Amino acid sequence: MPTESPEETNCPVSATAELVGGKWTLLVIRDLGAGPQRFCELERSLAGISPRTLSLRLRALEDEGILVRRTRADGAPRVEYELTEKGLALLPLLEDMRRYGREWLCDESGARGRGPGRGAGPTAARRSVAVA
């Protein structure tokens, strides 16, 4: 059975997941949330990303209107990447993910675990979510 694309289903969650679901994409957005950065700064902060992958992610995010690429001419020309209004609107989503990770996936030391006390947590009774 073929699956429908996010555009065909008109589902905002699916469309957003499609936009930011690629490996490294959310981390690029996270780093640009701190302000404009050069390619080499992003490459350094995203340990393990290849220059080709970073370039592809930046280009895709630029195509989607999430970031802009600016050439600065103060002194030697240099390129910086900066989030647009559309990109900045994703930062609360990242903050929610950070909060979720701290509460449910990492213990106080930062090691992966299962939330407070590693038990089911306070919302275990609310596990079933109605999907319309």
Per-residue confidence of the chain (132 residues) as pLDDT tens digits? 456 665 566 899 999 999 999 999 999 999 999 999 999 999 999 999 999 999 999 999 999 999 999 998 888 889 999 999 999 999 999 999 999 999 999 876 667 765 555 544 544 444 444 444
- Name the token pair of 101: 């990770």
Q: How far apart are CA 98 and CA 107, in angstroms?
A: 13
- What are the structural domains of the chain? 6-84 (1.10.10.10)
- Name the token pair of 29: 């957005």
Sorted by sequence, the CB contacts under 8 Å of residue 35 that are 6+ apart come out as: 82
Q: How far apart are CA 98 and CA 116, in angstroms?
A: 15
